[in-house]
Amino acid sequence: MPATPPLSGFAGADKPEYADYSRCVHCGLCLNHCPTYRLWGQEADSPRGRIRQMQLVDEGRLELGDGFVTHIDRCLDCRACETACPSGVEYGKLVEVARAQIEQHYTRPLSSRIARDFVYRRLLPYPRRIAVAARFLRIYQRSGLAALARGTGILNLLGLRDRERLLPKIESTFFFDDLGETFPAQGPRRARVAFFAGCVAQVTFSELNRATIRVLQANGCEVVVPAQQVCCGALPAHAGVRDVARNLARANLAAFPAGDFDAIITNAAGCGSTLKEYTHLFAADAQERNEAAKFTSKMRDVCEFLADLGLTAPLRKIPMRVTYQDSCHLVHGQKIREAPRKLIRAVPGVELIEMELADQCCGSAGVYNVTETEASLELLALKMESTRATKAEVIVTANPGCILQLRAGAAIHGTGQEVLHVVELLDRAINPAAGRGN
C-alpha cells in the first residue's frame, strides 16, 4: 500500500474536476451511442472509458502520456454520449478541459506543434489572415493546379486523394465585406437580431451566410452584422487551447452588446454550441461569467430561432425528397432535434425521409476529418450508406462542417445527393432565384 497518495497528473486551472467526472456511474449506456466505440469496440475509445482515464490521471494511477492523449484525441467531441447519459454527465466540458491539460502538460511531436500553433494561435484569431490564406487556396483551386495535382495522380501517391476532397471550396466573394452592415426586415419588423458570421465560413460559406440573412429578413427580422466580431473560439476550445478561446470570447462579448438585440443568431451548430457555453470559459471570474451569461441568454441557432418565431414568408412548392442529418452540436450539444425538422416539413412539396442513425456523427467534427482522417472516412462511409438508403435527392443539415463532409461523402461514394443547410432550403422556397448562383 502506498504511504502517500499518488499525485494527480493534472495541474493548474481548466482540468477535469471530481464533481464533474464522478457523475459518471459507469452504467455503460453511452457506449453504443459513441461513434468511435461503434467503430473499434474498445473501452478506451468510449465515453465511459475516456472518463475513467481522466479519473485515473487525476488519481495519479495513469500517466498523462501517449496512450491517454491518443484516446482523448480520437474523441469526436460529438457529445452523442450526453444525449444517452441518464446521469447528466457534461462530457463535452470534460473532454475540452482534458485537452486543455494535454495542451499544458504534454509535448506533441514537432510537426503537430507547428501545425496546431499556426492554426489555433496564428490563423483563426485573425480574420485578415484567414482572407489571405483563402486567396492562396483559391488560386490553387482555380488556376488548374488542383486539376493538375488530381490528374497526375500525385495526390493518390501521397495518400491525399480523399483528404483533398474534404477541402472547402473557396468562394469568389468573401463575407468579410458584409461585416458592419444592417439588413432591414421585410414587412413589419418582428425582431431585431445580430448575425454571427463565423471565421472560415466567411470565405467558404458566404453564400450560406447571405441566404441566412435573406431568410431572416423575409420573416420580418432586421439583421445586424456587428463589425468587430471574430471567430467563436470553438476549434481552439475543442483542441484545448483555452487561452485563445477565452480571448476570442472576450472580443465577441464586446462586439455583440446583448441588450441591443432580441437574439444573436448563428447558422453553424458547432459555433452555436460553444457560443452558448461561453460561461464555461469564465468559470474562474464571476464578473466575466455574468457578462457571458447575458450573451448566452440571447444566443440562438437559426433553426431554433425560426421555428420558435414561426415562418411568415410565403413558401413556394419544391417537390423534393430530402433526408436530415442531425448536426451533433445541434442535437447533442444544444439538444435541438425537432426545430430543423419542423422547418423542413414547412416547405410545401418536400418529403422528409428519416435515415437510420441520423443523430450519429458524419465524421466531420471540426478538424477531425483532417487530424483523424481514417476514422473520419470510415464514419462517412457508414453515413453515406444510410443517406443512400433513403433515396433522398437532398441531404439537409445544420452546420457548415457537416455540409463539407457530406458533400465529400456524396462525391466519394457517388450517391449523387445534393447537400444543403436548412436555411438554404428555406431560401429556395422563398426566393425562386436562390441557389442557382453556385
Partner 1 sequence: MDSRLLHDLTKLLGPRAVLHEPEDLLLYEYDGSVEVARPECVVFPRATADVVEIVRLANRHKVPLVGRGTGTGLSGGAIARHGGIIISFSRMKRIVEIDAENQRATVQPGVVNADLSVAVEHLGLHFAPDPSSQKACTIGGNVSENSGGPHTLAYGVTTNHVLSLEVVLPNGELMRLGSAALDPPGYDLTGLFVGSEGTFGLVTEITVKLTRVPEAVKTLLAVFDSVDDATETVAEITARGITPAACEMLDGWTIRAVEDYVHAGFPLDCAAILLIEVDGLREVAEAEAKDVADVCGLHHAREVRVARDARERDLLWKGRKNAFGAAGRFAPSYYTQDGVIPRTKLPATLRRIGEISKKYGLQIGNVFHAGDGNLHPIILFDERNEQQFRDTIRAGDEIIEFCIQMGGSITGEHGVGMEKDRLMTLLFSEADLALMRRVRDVFNPEGLLNPGKILPTSKGCGEIYVRPRPAAAVPSA
Residues lying near partner 1 in the complex (CB under 8 A) are found at 1-2, 6, 22-33, 37, 41-44, 49, 52-53, 56, 60-63, 65, 67-68, 84-89, 356
Nearer to partner 1, 49 or 240 (CB): 49
Task: Name every residue whose Cβ is closer than 8 Å to that of residue 142 and which is 6 or more positions away in sequence.
Answer: none
Closer by beta carbon to partner 1, 56 or else 255: 56
68 half-sphere exposure, CB direction, 13 A CA radius: 26
Nearer of residues 80 and 343 to partner 1, judged by Cβ = 80
CB of 311 to partner 1, least distance (A): 23
Q: Which three cell numbers stand for residue 341?
A: 425538422
Taking the least distance from each CB to partner 1, the nearer of 47 and 236 is 47
**Sign of CA pseudo-dihedral 342, 344, 346, 352:** negative
DSSP 362: -
Q: Which is nearer to partner 1, 45 or 288 (CB)?
A: 45
Alpha-helical regions (H) of 3-144: 18-21, 35-40, 47-58, 66-73, 80-84, 91-105, 110-116, 127-142
Closest separation in Å from C-beta 20 to partner 1: 11
Q: Minimum CB separation from partner 1 for residue 1, in Å? A: 8
Three-point CA angle 63, 67, 68, nearest 5°: 60
Q: Which is nearer to partner 1, 252 or 387 (CB)?
A: 387
How many other CB atoms sit within 10 Å of the CB of residue 179?
A: 17
Please state the closest distance from residue 209 (CB atom) to partner 1, in A: 34
Q: Which is nearer to partner 1, 30 or 382 (CB)?
A: 30
DSSP string, 274-286: HHHTHHHHTTT-H
Distances (CA, A) of 41 to 38, 51, 189, 213, 434: 6, 16, 53, 43, 45
Q: Residue type for 359, please?
A: D
Q: What is the phi/psi pair of residue 419, to 5°?
A: -120, 125
Burial class (CB in 10 A: 0-12, 13-18, 19+), 70: exposed
Q: At which residue does the C-alpha cell 467563436 appear?
A: 232
Q: Nearest distance from residue 212's CB to partner 1, in Å?
A: 30
CB of 286 to partner 1, least distance (A): 25
Least CB distance from residue 6 to partner 1, whole Å? 5
Q: What does the alpha-carbon distance between residue 80 and residue 71 come to, in Å, rounded to a whole number?
A: 17
Closest approach of partner 1 to the CB of residue 60, in Å: 6
Residue 30 or 193: the one with the smaller Cβ distance to partner 1 is 30
- The nearest distance, CB 23 to partner 1, in angstroms, is 5
Considering the complex, state which of residue 58 and residue 178 has its C-beta at the smaller distance from partner 1.
58
* Residue 388 neighbours by CB distance under 10 Å: 18
